[in-house]
Amino acid sequence: MGGFSNFAVSFSIISILTGAVTLFGYGLEMGGPLEMTLGWPVATLFTLAVAASMAELCSAYPTSGAMYHWAADLGGPAWGWFAAWLNAFGMIAALAGINYSCAQFVLPFLGMASTHANLLGMFGLILGTQAALNHWGIRLVARLNDLSVTVHIAGVIVVVAALAFFAPQQPPGFLLEAVNSNGRSPYWWAFALGLLQAQWTYTGFDASAHLAEETEDPRRRAPWGIVLSVAVSGVVGYLLILSLTLAIRTLPEALASRDAGGNAIPAAIAILQGALGARAGNAMAALASMAMWFCGLATVTSGSRTVYALARDGGTPFAGLLRRVNARHGTPGAAIWAFTAAAFTAMIWTGAVPIVTSLSTVALYAAYIIPVALGLRARGWRAAAVWTLGRWGGAINAVAIAYTVFICIVLVMPPNELAGKTFAGLLAALAVLYAAIARKKYKGPEWSRRREAAPAGETGR
């Protein structure tokens, strides 16, 4: 991959037409229009601190598996093992939320009722197409991800322009209305809960690091892919958020819309249909669903590499199968299909998009911040980084760590307590699995072991 393709994968997984649109109703219910006006830039600013901290690590360690290898080298095999599993489970939950949301947007466009059976069937079909394309080869997926950038940016332009020119607009003061439709008090707490809308959108930018081994000049291009994917998404996504907010006719109507069969439909679809008419609204929803499909495609690419990287070092059950690379297509086929099957299971377990998205956000940010925290206390690794934060590195790392701890606590509070319980259960299960099995058999990344055994002056990489 070139630098643009590397950026495109992370940009596609962030997918402003997925996260920002899928959870638009959730954010609107929690904090009203003010959530849209302030929540997005707040999340963008602090996420850039996390992304920049990870980018510097990526420049020093341009390896598939990303946080897994960073944590293992900076803190030891146990830290790497836990980071890898948290990253894998986070991506699994993220894929579930992305594709279930895609199914919710596709069904109205096809004129089908949003019943549970229809949603699960469409969800499975979407997962299957993404897994198959990833199995066939990275070159095809890279081209599709390049196209995805065009679809996302052009899609936002079309939606924003259509709403600006053809939809009735609220006055600018509407953007400052603090409305807590969910009845949670105080307002600042509801606002914090509503940050899930923006924060879930800003997941998956680690994909640029996961694909470093498949990218030209990875010490420079992969870090820029991480940072630019967040920065560009921040600007373009904010335009989309504000446009949708100004096109709201009434808050109750946006939050309580249903299809002809009486099934609830996402608030963003209701806003588009109310502002542009049913046919035009469904066409905009179809455009968003296309972007969501691209987002899921890139998520399979990134997540399967995490599973593969851990399996090739013997860190997973059935490692001999999951580390196999297809001789014809050059892709980790078993890891790809196992990853997508796990996403289907995760959606059935959680049963609700806000819960599965909250779970994915917490698990992913925990995986992101483990190597950042380890790197803050470690010495010497920055010398290998070509892309560097210089003397500001420590301060930016500290901000990233503090914000991640805050957001992870907030996002497992009610109404997303199932996500917190599931995450706690996951941590407990991983601790037991590591103590009982992995601690004895797993020795860390193979390249790290080779480096430690190499004579002075040789890297072993």
387-439 pLDDT, tens digit each: 999 888 899 999 999 999 999 998 888 887 888 888 888 899 899 988 887 78
pLDDT higher than threshold 80 for residue 460: no
What confidence score (pLDDT) does residue 458 get?
Answer: 41
- How far apart (Å, rounded) are the C-alpha atoms in residues 251 and 398? 38
- The band of 450, judged by pLDDT with boundaries at 50, 70 and 90, is low
222 with 51: CB under 8 angstroms?
no
- Does pLDDT of 325 surpass 50? yes
pLDDT exceeds cutoff 50 at 234: yes
Question: Cα torsion at 186, 188, 194, 196 (round to 10°)?
Answer: -120
Count CB neighbours of 133 within 10 A. Answer: 16
- Identity of the residue numbered 356: V
Question: Which tens digit of pLDDT belongs to each residue from 257-301?
Answer: 765 555 556 777 788 888 888 777 777 778 888 888 988 888 898
Tell me which of 241 and 313 has the higher pLDDT: 241
User: Does 58 score more than 90 pLDDT?
Assistant: yes
Mean pLDDT of the chain, nearest integer: 84
- pLDDT tier at 373, thresholds 50, 70, 90: very high
Distance CA 175, CA 412 (A): 27
Tell me: pLDDT of 2 over 70.
Answer: yes
170: Cβ contacts below 8 Å, ≥ 6 apart: 33, 245, 246, 247, 248
How confident is the model at residue 396, as a pLDDT? 95
| Banded pLDDT at 331 (limits 50, 70, 90) | confident
Most confident of 67-71, 322-326, 334-338: 334-338
* Sole residue written with tokens 């993404």: 130
Please give the pLDDT value at position 146: 78
Q: Which of 242-246, 342-346, 358-362, 412-416 has the lowest mean pLDDT?
A: 412-416
Residue 151's domain spans which residues?
Answer: 3-445
**Residue 230, domain member (yes or no):** yes
Q: How far apart are CA 88 and CA 430, in angstroms?
A: 12
Separation CA 1–CA 299 (nearest Å):
16
Q: What is the Cα 296 distance to its own chain's centre?
A: 10
25 in any annotated domain: yes
CA 119 distance to own-chain centroid: 21
The distance from CA 274 to its chain's CA centroid, rounded to whole angstroms, is 29
Reported as a single tens digit per residue, the pLDDT across 134-191 is: 888 777 787 887 788 888 888 888 888 988 888 888 898 999 988 877 666 788 888 9
Residue with tokens 């959606």: 347
Half-sphere exposure of 140 (CA within 13 A, CB side): 12
Structure tokens given for 168:
């009735």
- On the question of pLDDT at 344 being above 80, the answer is yes
Tokens of 271: 């806003």
**Confidence band for 455, pLDDT divided at 50, 70 and 90:** very low
Confidence of residue 342 (pLDDT cuts 50, 70, 90): very high
- How many independent structural domains does the chain possess? 1
Question: Rounded to whole angstroms, how far apart are CA atoms 103 and 347?
Answer: 12
Token duo for residue 188:
């600042």
* CATH code, domain with 396: 1.20.1740.10
| Among the listed residues 361, 325, 321, the one whose alpha carbon sits nearest the alpha carbon of residue 341 | 321
pLDDT at 23 over 60: yes
Residue 102 in this model has a pLDDT that exceeds 80? yes
Identify the pLDDT of residue 370: 94
Place of tokens 């002075």: 456
Work out the burial of residue 178: count CB atoms within 10 Å of its CB; fewer than 13 is exposed, 13-18 middle, 19 or more buried: middle
Indicate if the pLDDT at residue 11 is higher than 90: no
**Residue 461 belongs to some domain of the structure:** no
The pLDDT assigned to 323 comes to 87
pLDDT at 448 over 70: no
Does some domain include residue 458? no
Model confidence at 449: pLDDT above 80: no
Question: Can you list the pairs that 407-413 forms with residues at least 24 positions away whose Cβ atoms lie under 8 Å?
Answer: 407/46, 407/195, 407/199, 407/361, 407/365, 408/361, 408/362, 408/365, 408/366, 410/192, 410/193, 410/195, 411/193, 411/195, 411/196, 411/199, 411/358, 411/361, 411/362, 412/358, 412/362, 413/193
Give residue 457's pLDDT: 40
Contacts of 109 (CB under 8 A, 6+ apart): 282, 283, 285, 286, 289
pLDDT value at 366 more than 90: yes
Residues recorded for the chain: 461
Residue written as token pair 């707490």: 189
Q: Flag whether pLDDT at 461 surpasses 50.
A: no
